[in-house]
Structure 1
Amino acid sequence: MLKKFSFAIIALCMLVNPLLLPSKVQAKEAETDLAPEAVSAVLLDAGTGKILFEKNSHQALPPASITKVMTMLLVMEAIDRGKISWSDPVTISEHAASMGGSQIFLEQGERMTVHDLFKAMAVSSANDAAVALAEYLGGTEQNFVRMMNDKARELGLKNTHFQNANGLPAPDHYTSAYDIAVMSRELLSYPKVTNYTGLYEDYLRKNTKKPFWLVNTNKLIRFYPGMDGLKTGYTSEAKYCLAATAKRGNLRLIAVVMGEPDIKKRNQEVVSMLDYAFNHYTSKRIFNKGDILAEIRIDKGNPDKIRIQANQPLDMLIKKGIEHKGYEKRWIWNELKAPIHKGDRLGKLQIVQDGNIVAEWNLVSSMEIEQANLWTSLKRTLQDIFFLPNNVNSQM
C-alpha cells in the first residue's frame, strides 16, 4: 500500500528527437554550385539540421527508389515501438512477388524474416522486399502508403506524396531533395539502420538451394570514408538519385541529389558536397547520451514530474577557422497537460549564439503519462498545503 499511495515523484526518460529543420537555422552556406548537373540538391548537418548548400531543394520530382527511405523509416519506427520484431517471419504475397525492377525474386508463399527483407531493401533496393514489409506492417500496400503520407504530413513535408512503397513509376508520386533530407534525418535517429544501409555485400538464403548475393547499389559505401548509407534511386523519369550520409568524428552529414544524368556524375557531386562540408565544418558536443536536460511538472499528470534525458548525443555545428563565442541553451515548452502520449512533442531545445538559433531539437515523450484521478490530485493538493513528505501513505 505504501508504494501504491506514495507521493514519490517518478522520473521518466524522455526522447530528445533532433528532427526539426527550423527556418532560422537554414542557410545556403556554400558560395558555389556543388552539384551543377543535378536538377535539385541539398546538403545538411544531420545533428542540427543546418542547410549548408541547396539547389532547387523544394522542387517536387519523382524519387525512384529513394522512396524506400520512408519505407525504412516506418519499419524502424514499428520495431522501436514493439509492433513488430526483426525475427518476425513474413509470408510473401502474390502482389509482393510480382514486383519488377530490382528484386530478390521472392516467390508467393515464401517466408522470410523482417531482418532479411529489410537487408534486401536497404542493400540491393529490392522492390519485392519493400512491398512485403509494407504489407506486413500495413496489412496492404495501399494502407501502408496511407501511413507513409501520414508520416510525411507529421514531418511537415510540403512537397511529398507517395503512391507505393518502393518508388516504381506511378502518377502523383513525388518528393523533393529537402523532404528526402528530412526523412533521412529522421531515419538516422534510429542508429541501427546504418548496420543495414552501410553493408556493401551480404547473402540471403545462404546454405539453401536459392542463395542470393546482395551488393549495395551505393558504391560509395565502399570507397568514401565514413559513408554508411542511405539510398540510391533510378528510373528513366527520375534519372539518377542518391540520399547519402557519412560520419567522421561527431559530424554526420546528409547529401541528396536528384535528376543526375548518370551514376558517375551522381557520385562525383555527392562526394563534392560531402568534401566541402567535412573540410569547412566540425562539431561540438553539447550533451552526451543520458545527460539530464530538464525536470518539469505536468499539469494533472500521473506522475506529475518528468525528467527529460538525452537519448542520443547532441552536437552543435562549428565552422572551422572562426572564433566562436559562448552559446545559450533555451527551452521552449508547449502546454504541458496530461494525458501525454508516447511520441507527443513537448517542446524544443534551442542553442542560441550571438542572438541566432544555431541548433534546435524537438523534445518528445518516450512514454504514456496518464491524467491523475481525483484522489491523486487531492493528495497532491494536501501535500502542497501541509508540505507532507513524499513517503506519506494513505493512512496519514
Structure 2
Amino acid sequence: MFKNTIFRRMTALVLTLALAATAALPGLAVYPMPIQTASETEAVYLFNADTGKTILNQNADQQQYVASLTKLMTALLLLESGKDLNGEVTVPTVLTQEFRDIQNANGTTMGLRIGETVRRIDLLNAMLIVSANDAASVIAYDVGGSVLDFVKQMNARAQELGCTGTNFTCAHGLFDYGNVSTAQDLAKIAAACAANQTFAQVAGTASYVLPATNLRKAEHTISSSNSLMNSESANYREYVRWVKGGFTTLAGRCIVAFAEKDGHTYGLVILGCDTLDHLFAECDDLFDWAFASFADRPLVDTQTVLTTVDLTKCRTEPAVELYAAAPVSGYGHADDIVTYSFDLPESIAATVKSGSVVGTATVYLDGDEVGTVDLVTHKEYVSDFRTDMKATVLLLCALLFILAALTAVTLAAGGSSLNLKKRRRRR
C-alpha cells in the first residue's frame, strides 16, 4: 500500500511540475485579461492543463479564503492513501462536536449520523458533488486517524506540490479561520487531482445515488447545483469536464473548473467573486476566450530558409542555406512568437549535395518547446576543387582541340606545297 501511495504521489507530482516550472520561467506570455471581473480584488488563474503554462493571472499569488475548494486536497489525500474506496467507514463518536460545529455554521451535509456505516466512495461523491462537510470530516478521520493529524497531512502535501501561500486548518473549508490559499496554489492541487481518473470521474458527475446504510433504510439521490454542467442552464458548456465550487461569507464565491475541447485542456481558478451569476459568467467567458484564441497553427514550412552555415572550399557561395525537412505545427495564441535553437557545425566543406542533412532545429512557441526537425539543403554546393578540375579539363580539351586544328591546318598546308613542287618539276 505504501508503494502504491508513493507511486500515485509521484505521478501527480510529475503532472504538476510543469505548472510550477513554467511559472518560474522568464519571457513567457501571460495574456491581457479579456474580461472585466466583477471586482478588482478577485483572483483569477487560467492555465493550460496539458503543459502547465500560465494563460491569465490576476491576483493569483495573493492569499484568500478558499471555502470548500479545501475539499480538493481532502479528496486527493483519500485517493492517494491507497484505501479501498468500496470499503466501509463507521462514523466515530469523536466527531460529535465536529458535526455540531458544521451544523452551527449552516454547512451543507449528507446527513451522516454518529455510528452510521458508509462506503468511502459514497463519502467522496457526497463531498465533491454536493460539497458535504460531514463527509470531509469522516474522510479526514479515516485517512489521518484524527482531523488534526489529517490537516497536518494536508499542509505537508501542499508543500510537496510546491504551494507557497497555502495553510489548511480544516478538512472542508467551512471554517475560515486561517484556512487560506492562492489561486496559483489551488491550480497545482487541482492539477494533481485531475491526474487521478477516479477524481475526474466523481467531480464530473452531476448526480449520484447514495445507497441505504445501517441507519438510513432507503437510497436517495444527490445532485450538483453547478450551472456549468447543467445542460438546462444558460451557463452550460459541453466542454466542462468537472467543477468544484465553494462559498463562505469571507471567501465569497469560489470555483475550480477543468474544460477540454479538441484534445486541449484548461484549468481555471476564481476566488472571491461576489455572486454566483458573476462567477459562472466569468467561467464561461474565460473558457470561451481560451478555446477561441488558441489553436493549432503552422509554425515552420519547408520552403523558408531557417538559418545558414558557413561554407568552405567554395568561392562562389559563402554559406549553405538550410530548410526544415518537414513542416512543424503547434498549439498556441496567434500572437505567440516562434523561436529556434540550432544544433549545427560551425562550418561545412563543399561539395554538399542537395537534400543533405546538416543539423537540427528545435522549435519553440512562446518559449514552449514544440519539436525538433532536421535541417536540409535544397541545392548542391560544389567545391572549388571540382570547379577548378572542370575548368582545367575544359581548358585542356580546348587546347587539344586547338592543337588538333593547327595540326590539321599544318598538314593541309604541307600537302599543298608538295603538290605545287610536283607541278613545277613536270614543266
Structure 1 Cα separation of the partners of residues 196 and 108 of structure 2: 25
Aligned to 2:345: none
State the shift of 1:321 in Å: 8.1
Q: How far 1:40 moved relative to its partner? A: 1.0
In structure 2, the residue matched to 1:24 is: 25
* CA shift in 2, pair 1:43/1:142, >3 Å: same
The CA RMSD measured in Å over matched residues stands at 2.9
Deviation at residue 36 of structure 1 after TM alignment: 4.1
Q: Does 1:159 align with 2:158?
A: no
State the TM-score, normalizing by the size of structure 2: 0.63
1:88 and 2:91 are equivalent in the alignment = no
Q: In 2, Cα distance between the equivalents of 1:233 and 1:355? A: 36
Counterpart of 1:250 in structure 2 is 263
How many aligned residue pairs are there? 292
* Matches of 1:46 and 1:256, distance apart in 2: 12
Q: Alignment partner for residue 49 of structure 2, among 35, 46, 50?
A: 46
CA 1:40 to 1:355, structure 2 compared with 1: closer, same or farther past 3 Å?
A: closer
Which residue number corresponds to residue 56 of structure 1? 59
Residue 353 of structure 1 and its aligned partner are, at CA, apart by 3.9
The 1:34/1:47 distance shift into structure 2, 3 A limit, reads: farther
More displaced 10-residue stretch of structure 1: 14-23 or 115-124: 14-23
Q: 1:211 aligns with which of 219, 222, 232?
A: 219
Structure 2 unaligned regions, length at least 5: 1-6, 231-235, 298-329, 343-361, 371-427
8 Å contact 2:16–2:52 — kept in the other structure?
Answer: yes
- Do 2:66 and 2:251's aligned partners in 1 also have CA atoms closer than 8 Å? yes
- Quick one: structure 1 residues 36 and 128, their matched pair in 2 at CA, closer, same or farther if it must change by over 3 Å? same
Q: Could you tell me which of 65, 74, 80 is aligned with 1:71? A: 74
TM-score under structure 1 normalisation? Answer: 0.67
Quote the residue 1:393 is aligned against. Answer: none
Alpha-carbon separation, structure 2, partners of 1:165 and 1:327 = 47
Alignment match, 2:286: 273
Q: Is the 8 A contact 2:137 2:147 kept in 1?
A: yes
Deviation at 1:213, TM superposition (A): 2.6
Distance in structure 2 (CA, Å) of the matches to 1:130 and 1:33: 35
2 CA distance for matches of 1:158 and 1:92?
33
Equivalent residue in structure 1 for 2:193, among 187, 190, 197? 187
Q: Which has the higher contact order (CA 8 A, sep 6+)?
A: 1
What residue number does 1:363 align with? none
What is the identity, as a one-letter code, of the residue corresponding to 2:44? A
Unaligned runs of 5+ in 1: 1-11, 285-315, 329-351, 361-396
Paired residues of 2:127 and 2:133 also in contact (CA < 8 A): yes
Q: Cα distance, 1:168 vs. partner?
A: 1.1
CA distance in 2, matches of 1:146, 1:172: 14
SS of the residue corresponding to residue 318 of structure 1 reads strand
Distance in 2 of aligned mates of 1:32 and 1:226: 20
Q: What is the CA deviation profile of residues 244-266 of structure 1, one whole-angstrom value per residue up to 9, with x for unaligned ones?
A: 11111211111111111110000
- Greater CA drift, 113-122 or 198-207: 198-207
Give 1:225 deviation, angstroms: 1.1
Asked if 1:118 corresponds to 2:124, the answer is yes
- The alpha-carbon distance between structure 1 residues 31 and 227, as it changes in their structure 2 partners (threshold 3 A), is closer
Query: Secondary structure in 1 aligned to 2:265?
Result: strand
Task: Pick closer, same or farther for the CA change 1:283–1:221 going to 2, 3 Å.
Answer: farther
Query: Once the two structures are superposed, what CA deviation does each residue of 1:204-245 show, in whole Å capped at 9, x if it has no partner?
Result: 125963433311142212221121223100001111111111
Contact 1:221 1:227 in 2 (8 A): yes
> Any idea what SS the aligned residue of 1:87 has?
coil
* Matched residue, 2:380: none
Matches of 1:327 and 1:199 in 2, distance apart?
45
Query: What are the equivalent positions in structure 2 for 1:233-248 lying under 5 Å apart?
Result: 233-248=246-261
Tell me how far apart the structure 1 counterparts of residues 75 and 191 of structure 2 sit (CA, whole Å). Answer: 12
Distance of 2:57 and 2:339 partners within structure 1: 27
Distance 2:208 2:293 in 1: 35
Give a deviation string over 1:293-319, Cα, whole Å, max 9, x none: xxxxxxxxxxxxxxxxxxxxxxx7433
Amino acid at match of 1:93: P
CA distance in 1, matches of 2:282, 2:118: 37
Residue 264, structure 1, aligned to residue 277, structure 2: yes
Distance change >3 Å, CA 356–CA 318, structure 1 → 2: closer
